[in-house]
Structure 1
Amino acid sequence: MMSAPTFGLWYDFRNPQQYAQPIGPLYRETLDQIVWAEQLGFGSVWLSEHHFAPDDYASSPLIVAAAIGARTTTMQIATNIVVAALHNPIRLAEDANALSLLTDGRFDLGVGLGYNEREFTSFGRVRNQRPSLLEDAIAIIRTAWSGSDEGYQGKRLSMPPVKVTPMAEKTPRMPIGAVAPAGIERAARLGDGVITLSNASFDTYLDALVANGRPLEDGNIYASQWVVLAEDPEKEWSRIGENVLYQVNKYIEWGSFEGSGVADHFDAPDDLLDFGIYQLWDAPKAVDELVSLARRYPQVRDYHFWAQFPGETVESGSARIQYIADNVIPQVTSQLTSEPALA
């Protein structure tokens, strides 16, 4: 029998000025929402990172992860993603170990390249050195998690001959977020899976696994879904489309979609649909799409959706969460677990 992917929620805690809410309650109500979502059957939560954002984009995902871990019991907690180049990788390894210990192994450290020039400059890093910074950081974290005291000397970063303690009882997984083919190849080569922004990337990842001599069955795909999922998705889009437009245009402004073919700016919410960067699904469409993907790609471990878009209230996002829990998760899970896996 097939196993079904988990369903997750993705958070950035944005609070744009034009929609501003009191930010303390936003954090606390979101934590309450995550606890509630676990009770509804969501199996993962994903936390993003940015710095110096005028819209208060979350800058401390590991602190938030600890708070979530203290109030949940089964949910996998992961970053999507930590920009490893902006951190001391030894501290990342230590903090991830602590989170794993606190959560009984429920924490995964998703890392990625990053793209925002201001962040790199402000943290004393050089943006065009991103690939080597990330690969050195990954190597240092792996060295720390191995229990070795041999140290590491990389192109940009190094680790002295010290042994990191305490060790996690369950070593966190380290999936790598990627958009471009080179990043997906890096995830296949160095990661415990890939965090994708597009389902069209799955084949690129599987090809890269083969090219790097890794078995396909060892692949792990954590699939971010750029979808608005509601009973009447067109009506929902008319209500929140401007929030989604803000989200995408900010990502473009910061450099997120560099090299992906995405336009420099979108003028209206429907332009996002026409381009294909977002899709509108109701539950029957979601079940068909997600079951089909999981059958074709048994490496898919998780589907996750934005819980709220910038400026939405927690209550607003909760309506979609309830809809997914009632109408999508049980149906996808039932269909995938009641039939033999395809050869």
Structure 2
Amino acid sequence: MTTETSAAQGPAPNPRALTWTRRRHSAARFWRAYRGHRAGLFGLAVLVLISLAAVFAPLLVGSDADSVTHAPGDAMESPSTEFPLGTDQFGRDLLALLVYGARISLTIGLLAAFLSVAIGTVVGITAGHYRGVYGTVMMRVTDWFLVMPTLVLAIALAVVMSGSLSTIILAIGVTTWPTTARLVRAQTLAVESRPYIERARALGGGHTHIMLRHVLPNVMPLVLAQTTLVISSAILTEATLAFLGLGDPTAVSWGGLLQDAREAGAVSAGDWWYLAPPGIAIAVVALAFTLCGRAVESVLNPRLGVSR
């Protein structure tokens, strides 16, 4: 009788298929909630457009747009039909340089933010789980980084190390993680006070099992929201370092364009077309990431009551 009933019910469902089904449903619910935030949709649309322009930059503006020897115009030309944003001191099209600069600025911002959030997540989870001497020491180190000016630390690292893109990413990543660590530690303490953590320990779950299988999935929504917010500050920090001449001189970035404009005397000459577009691009991208981050934070934690 039992065999006939089991046969009538069909084969047991595949656990992996059930997991992917739940993930698809969760993603669909997230997108439905995210679509209700007009500001978040606007920020996402802006980021998609800028990202597409950065990816297809060689098709849009040519592959040698940053070449000094093949500059198409004269030095410091004002905006015209041929050059909508004018030219720089070498005669290069500033619109093309602005498109290429999106590649470097977005890449550094994304990688530096991921490094920062990864460090903060590891420190926050471990400090919240191991509450003895280790947790106390890690929080004092975190407090020290919090009270130190982030930009000053990033400048110090960029000066000591070689001026390259990896140096900028490392300098931003290792100086901006404390806020994430504090938030993740607080969430870890809240998660580990729940009864199922005690049951996991009673059933023989070790430290690694509890942190990876129980704590990490519960703090990931907070980590995701924090990542989108950190990216905007990372882009601003990269632009600041490049403007101070601490970036890679061979790479075209928005901060590097501002540095070139300063060195070319665009400020004193009143050449606004050299200064305004990179600054506006930095502000727009930072605002777009912030809007997306606020929307994600509101969806994942509706109690925040972020306005739509």
* Same fold per superposition (TM over 0.5): no
Relative contact order (C-alpha < 8 Å, sep 6+): which is higher? 2
| Higher strand content, 1 or 2 | 1
TM-score, normalization by structure 1 = 0.26
Which has the greater radius of gyration? 2
| Higher helix content, 1 or 2 | 2
